[in-house]
């Protein structure tokens, strides 16, 4: 399946004292990309409002691979890499100028009225249909540079 694409420009307020995209804004942009994946599988604004339901992040892992300069145009390519009855596993890649700059792996749980619950059948089917194989980098662990 083709990745879901989210695009947005770097805002001036997102630039840190080193002249690059500051850490929290990677996560903000990845959050916007997660929203696009939620829309893809049917957890859109209409569904969330009608069912008091959403996807809550329970775990995330960000890898910062290269700096993002000021005034860059960001492109996040997102894929569903796993789904269970309640969980959605998402892989994001942040690209700038045809170079991979960061990745984020997110595990989200479906919540309705404050409790984790299974996805409705139609959402579960869309999530399963969207699944692709996880990349080799998924489920990684932090290790010293000398071990990479």
Q: Do residues 93 and 77 touch, judged by C-beta distance below 8 A?
A: yes
State pLDDT tens for residues 53-78: 999 999 999 999 999 999 999 999 99
Q: How far apart are CA 59 and CA 80, in angstroms?
A: 15
Domain that holds residue 111: 4-135
In which band, very low, low, confident or very high, does the pLDDT at 25 lie, cut at 50, 70 and 90?
very high
pLDDT at 147: 56
Q: How many domains does the chain have?
A: 1
CA distance 124 to 131: 11
pLDDT of residue 104: 97
Answer whether residue 144 is part of any domain: no
Domain presence at residue 71: yes
- Average pLDDT score over residue span 86-114: 97
Percentage of the chain lying above the pLDDT 90 cut? 92
């Amino acid at each position: 399946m083709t990745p879901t694409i989210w695009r947005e420009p770097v805002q001036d307020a997102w630039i840190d004292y080193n002249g690059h995209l500051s850490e929290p804004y990677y996560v903000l942009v990845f959050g916007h990309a997660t929203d696009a994946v939620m829309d893809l599988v049917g957890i859109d604004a209409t569904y969330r409002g009608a069912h008091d339901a959403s996807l809550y992040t329970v775990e995330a892992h960000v890898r910062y691979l290269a700096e993002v300069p000021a005034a860059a145009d960001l492109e996040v390519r997102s894929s569903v890499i796993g789904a269970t009855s309640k969980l959605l596993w998402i892989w994001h890649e942040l690209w700038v100028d045809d170079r991979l700059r960061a990745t984020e792996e997110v595990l989200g749980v479906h919540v309705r009225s404050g409790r984790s619950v299974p996805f409705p059948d139609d959402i579960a089917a869309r999530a399963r249909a969207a699944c692709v194989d996880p990349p080799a980098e998924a489920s990684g662990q932090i290790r010293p540079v000398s071990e990479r």
